[in-house]
């Protein structure tokens, strides 16, 4: 045997020994002192839609609504009495903090948690509720982690790393133990990745018992530290991370976790914010659970995988947490249809003349308009044009392209803004401004039942007779639609205009003297 062959053999034996040690740790982890065996929930409607058997491993059912309790408790039970005298400390974006706080409370150990100032209030409040001290430091996990190391040195506290620790990794690996007991024939498992503790622990267990199973890590596109590490061959710092999926907002993958992931993970998928939002909606519709963005990450990766898979597989996604900041739901609701590719956002140029909006609606051939933003700007010539921001509901990507082609065939100038972050985050809310043309403009708020054709009925009754100078409409999926509209109404036409409003039979209220309109739009 050559020196190189002998070195390779020793390396293989060391790797196998490490894997067996993790397997032993996982099997003996006493996590059920505090954790529960979470359910494996079949997602029947999604399975039918995607042509695979899809399951959701429900770590939202843990007492802290996250898998992090497993690793934290397993680590604390392996500490010596000396290591616990001055208490323990950790840096966390939230869920590890709650898990450690509860585990420490269970074992009578004083816990201090250092959290980034960006951490949602729900997670800060929950940590304090479990009796731990919270220190808010820095704008990212890395800054909080640096502070926790300093506090540990000066106060003689024992650091409990949120992911890059063998006992923490083993504790998270117990999720895989349950999964194989619940669904021994699973083909592919999708696991969210932040620092890598859950993926490393589950992957090393799954591959020992089922070498044929495919293990796929899923990352947020704007926090892809694993993808960066694989490209460099070692853990590397990201310049910045996105904060929407705060539970995985980690700049650098762990060293220990990376070595295990590199050995036992088959692939990594990155997903967008819109795709995460769509998966939050899917989880809610199947389970009535509101997953946090990091918790829905793996299902988003699963759905992306299904776009190119052959089907007829047993697929499992890990719902890793459900500590959602309630106010984030507004953002999720706006973005989920884009993630499902069921809404297209367009900038369209239409003629600035009476009836042009109505004609545009007819061109859509009955498709639902989800949003329409328009503010009249000028009328310098008879060939004036108007630029409108419009959202339209579509069935899929193919219909999106068909709609754009249809509008172009009707000689509309169209720009597709569906993938434009500036348009989706800001411009859709900023279409407006004061009208530079002095007109006899009157402003009305309308409310009408949401049914197919309701908006067109509105336009048929009013849009042909009076020029619309301002229009804002957003379909929120509620029973009633809300419209803010401006009309150029001369004094001589007022009686006729109000008679048409009466014929319309929608609820309305004039807002011409409203302070907000006068300040920003008049």
Active site residue 68: yes
pLDDT tens figures, 48-106: 999 999 999 999 999 999 999 999 999 999 999 999 999 999 988 678 999 999 999 99
Residue 397: the pLDDT is 83
- Residue 123 bridge partners (DSSP): none
Q: Is residue 460 over pLDDT 80?
A: no
Residue 450: the pLDDT is 64
pLDDT tens figures, 146-183: 999 999 999 999 999 989 999 999 999 999 999 999 99
In degrees, rounded to 5, the angle at the alpha carbon of residue 417 between the alpha carbons of residues 458 and 49 is: 85
Architecture of domain 341-520: 3-Layer(aba) Sandwich (3.40)
| DSSP tag of 115 | E
Active site residue 320: yes
Residues of the chain above pLDDT 90, percent: 50
Active-site position among 298, 320, 356, 469? 320
Q: 499 vs 319, which has greater pLDDT? A: 319
Q: Return the percent helix, strand and coil in the chain, to nearest 5.
A: 45, 20, 35
Q: What is the mean pLDDT of residues 229-255?
A: 90
Q: Is residue 11 over pLDDT 60?
A: no
Active-site position among 57, 68, 123, 281? 68
Q: Is residue 458 over pLDDT 90?
A: no
pLDDT tens figures, 332-358: 887 776 777 788 888 888 887 777 878
Residue whose C-alpha is closest to residue 104's, from 79, 144, 73, 125: 73
Fold type of domain 12-65+166-331: Rossmann fold (3.40.50)
pLDDT tens figures, 394-442: 888 888 999 999 999 988 989 888 887 767 766 666 566 556 566 688 8
Rounded-to-integer distance, Cα 207 and Cα 269, Å: 19
Query: 3-class DSSP state for residue 284?
Result: helix
Q: Is residue 449 over pLDDT 80?
A: no
Q: 94 vs 298, which has greater pLDDT? A: 298
| DSSP tag of 222 | G
> Is there a common fold for 12-65+166-331 and 68-159?
yes
Beta strands 468-474 and 480-488 are antiparallel
First to last CA, the chain: 87
Residue 9: the pLDDT is 44
| Whole-structure pTM value | 0.77
**CATH of the domain spanning 68-159, picked from 2.30.130.10, 3.20.20.450, 3.40.630.10, 3.40.50.1100:** 3.40.50.1100
Q: Is residue 464 over pLDDT 80?
A: no
Residue 172: the pLDDT is 98
Mean pLDDT across the chain: 86
Quick check: 283 and 291 in contact, CB under 8 A? yes
Q: 391 vs 426, which has greater pLDDT? A: 391
The domain locations on the chain are 12-65+166-331, 68-159, 341-520
């Amino acid at each position: 045997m050559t020196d190189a062959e002998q070195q390779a053999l020793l390396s293989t034996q060391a790797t196998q020994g490490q894997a067996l040690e993790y397997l032993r740790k996982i099997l003996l982890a006493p996590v059920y002192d505090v954790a529960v065996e979470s359910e494996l929930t079949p997602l029947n409607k999604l399975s039918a839609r995607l042509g695979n058997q899809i399951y959701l491993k429900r770590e939202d059912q843990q007492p802290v609504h996250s898998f992090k309790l497993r690793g934290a408790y397993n680590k604390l039970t392996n500490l010596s009495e000396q290591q616990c005298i001055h208490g323990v400390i950790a840096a966390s974006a939230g869920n590890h903090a709650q898990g450690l706080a509860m585990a420490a409370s269970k074992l009578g150990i004083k816990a201090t948690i250092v959290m980034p100032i960006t951490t949602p209030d729900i997670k800060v409040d929950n940590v304090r509720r479990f009796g731990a001290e919270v220190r808010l430091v820095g704008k990212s996990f890395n800054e909080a982690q640096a502070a926790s190391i300093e506090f540990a040195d000066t106060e003689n506290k024992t650091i409990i790393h949120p992911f890059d620790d063998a006992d923490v990794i083993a504790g998270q690996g117990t999720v895989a133990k349950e999964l194989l007991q619940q669904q021994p024939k699973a083909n592919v498992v999708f696991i969210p990745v932040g620092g890598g503790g859950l993926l490393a622990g589950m992957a090393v267990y799954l591959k020992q018992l089922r070498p044929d199973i495919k293990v796929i890590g899923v990352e947020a596109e704007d926090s892809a530290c694993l993808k960066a590490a694989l490209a460099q061959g070692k853990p590397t710092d990201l310049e910045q991370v996105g904060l929407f999926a705060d539970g995985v907002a980690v700049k650098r993958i762990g060293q220990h976790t990376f070595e295990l992931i590199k050995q036992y993970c088959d692939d990594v998928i990155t997903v967008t914010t819109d795709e995460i939002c769509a998966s939050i909606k899917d989880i809610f519709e199947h389970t009535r659970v509101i997953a946090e963005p990091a918790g829905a990450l793996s299902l988003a990766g699963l759905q992306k995988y299904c776009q190119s898979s052959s089907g007829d597989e047993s697929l499992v996604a890990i719902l890793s947490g459900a500590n959602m900041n309630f106010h984030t739901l507004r953002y999720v609701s706006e973005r989920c249809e884009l993630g499902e590719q069921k809404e297209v956002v367009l900038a369209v140029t239409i003629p600035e003349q009476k009836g042009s909006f109505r004609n545009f609606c007819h061109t859509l051939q009955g498709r639902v308009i989800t949003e329409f933003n328009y503010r009249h700007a000028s009328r310098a010539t008879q060939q004036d044009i108007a630029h409108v921001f419009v959202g339209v509901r579509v069935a899929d990507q193919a219909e999106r392209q068909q709609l754009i082609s249809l509008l172009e065939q009707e000689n509309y100038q169209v720009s597709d803004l569906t993938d434009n972050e500036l348009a989706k985050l800001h411009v859709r809310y900023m279409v407006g401004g004061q009208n530079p043309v002095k007109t006899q403009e009157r402003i009305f708020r309308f409310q009408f039942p949401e049914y197919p054709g309701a908006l067109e009925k509105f336009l048929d009754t009013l849009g042909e007779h009076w020029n619309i100078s301002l229009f804002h409409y957003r379909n929120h999926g509620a029973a009633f639609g809300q419209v803010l509209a401006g009309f150029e109404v001369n004094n001589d036409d007022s009686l006729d205009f109000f008679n048409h409003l009466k014929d319309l039979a929608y609820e309305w209220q004039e807002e011409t003297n409203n302070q907000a309109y006068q300040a920003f739009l008049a």
